[in-house]
Homo-oligomer: A and B are copies of this chain.
Amino acid sequence: MTTLTSILTRTSYRGKYDPTPVPREHLRQLLEAGVAAPSGCNKQTTSFIAVDDPALLNQLNAITESRIGKTAPAMILVLTRRVIAYRDRTYFVQDYAAAIENILLATVSLGYQSCWVEGKITDTDNIGRKMADVLGVPQEYELICYLPIGKAIEPTQKPVKQPFSERAWFNGFEKSE
């Protein structure tokens, strides 16, 4: 699939998934897409765990208590470390967001759907840490996002967005030319 098509058709899929396993070759391509993302000062603060073991998926879904991706045959978990990149600054959020977007686009390009689930697991109830513990992730890594991966069996939906002219301009703020 072309890059622009993936970008324009990607959407957050919250429906049910076909239970057919995702081939390891595809999961590996998705992880490679994550690894290929840029990172501030090349600090590579983001790491990834793909899960396709059904028992592990059940354990993780029991922790999230979420219907999003519950039926997906695979999941990618995104880990980060708050490494200082420059003076006193860390770009770990930018790094993992770019990596997640790469994985989402690669997912669409291979015919799968996904959804960026972050807010629910990074709240004060520390669901991300509970998921990390199941996977043996050390304390210095934070598990900040999960991405269900699989084929959709329900229609995808596009959210309503502001028109282009309210968000993108040429040669000056709110200028259309």
Give A164 Cβ to nearest chain B Cβ, in Å.
6
Given contacts A3-B5, A38-B116, A53-B171, 12 further A-B contacts (CB under 8 A): A7-B102, A32-B164, A32-B168, A34-B168, A40-B118, A44-B161, A48-B169, A49-B169, A49-B175, A52-B170, A98-B100, A101-B102
Contact B119 A47 (CB under 8 A): no
Within 8 A of B (CB), among A99-124: 100-102, 104-106, 108-109, 116, 118-119, 123
Contact B35 A168 (CB under 8 A): yes
Contact A172 B50 (CB under 8 A): no
- Report the contact-size class of chain A (Cβ under 8 Å from the partner): 35 or more
Contact A162 B44 (CB under 8 A): yes
Report how far A85 CA is from B123 CA in the complex, Å: 13
A51 / chain B contacts, CB cutoff of 8 Å: 170-171
Mark interface residues in A23-52 (1 if CB within 8 Å of B CB, else 0): 010010101111111101110101111111
Q: In the complex, identify which listed stretch (A61-69, A88-96, A148-156) lies at the interface while the others stay far away.
A: A88-96
